[in-house]
Amino acid sequence: MNAHHPTWGGIGTKADREAEQLLEITNEQGLEATTEEGKSTWTRNDQSSVIDLTFVSSSLLDRLIQCERADDIEHASDHFPVRTVLDIETPATAQQMRRNWNATDNQRLVKKIEESLHARDLSQGDIQQIEAECKELLEAVQSAIEDSTPWAKPSAWSNPDFDEACKATVNVVRRLRRRHTRTKDPYDWMCYSEARNRKTRLIKKTLSRAHRRRVQQVIEDGPQDMWRLAKWARNRDGAYEKGITPSLKIQDPQIPGAIAEKN
Q: Where are the domains of the chain?
A: 6-86, 105-148, 164-262
How far, in Å, CA of 5 to CA of 37, rounded? 10
What is the distance between the alpha carbons of residues 188 and 193, in angstroms, rounded to a whole number? 9
∠ CA(150), CA(154), CA(160), 5° rounding?
140
Question: Per DSSP, what are the bridge partners of residue 43?
Answer: 48
pLDDT at 43: 87
Q: Write down the H helix ranges in the chain.
A: 6-9, 17-28, 106-116, 127-148, 164-183, 186-221, 223-235, 259-262
Q: Does position 8 have pLDDT exceeding 80, yes or no?
A: yes
Q: Which residues contact 31 (CB under 8 A, 6 or more apart)?
A: 55, 56, 57, 58
Cα 178 from Cα 126, distance rounded (Å): 48
Average pLDDT over residues 76-91: 84
C-alpha 124/C-alpha 197 separation (Å) is: 56
Superfamily of domain 6-86: Endonuclease/exonuclease/phosphatase (3.60.10.10)
Neighbours of 262 (CB within 10 A): 10
Q: What is the mean pLDDT of residues 168-196?
A: 94
8 Å CB contact between 229 and 218: yes
For residue 238, is pLDDT > 50? no
pLDDT grade for 138, boundaries at 50, 70 and 90: very high
pLDDT in tens, 98-115: 899 999 999 999 999 988
Closest by Cα among 200, 205, 204, 210 to 172? 200
Whether the pLDDT of residue 23 is over 80: the answer is yes
CA atoms within 13 A on the CB side of 197: 5
Pick from 251, 254, 233, 252: nearest CA to 242: 233
Using alpha carbons, select from 148, 53, 74, 66 the residue that is nearest to residue 107.
148
Confidence at residue 212, expressed as pLDDT on a 0 to 100 scale: 84
For residue 249, pLDDT over 70 is answered with no
26 Cβ contact list (under 8 Å, min separation 6): 32, 33, 55
Average pLDDT of the chain to the nearest whole number: 83
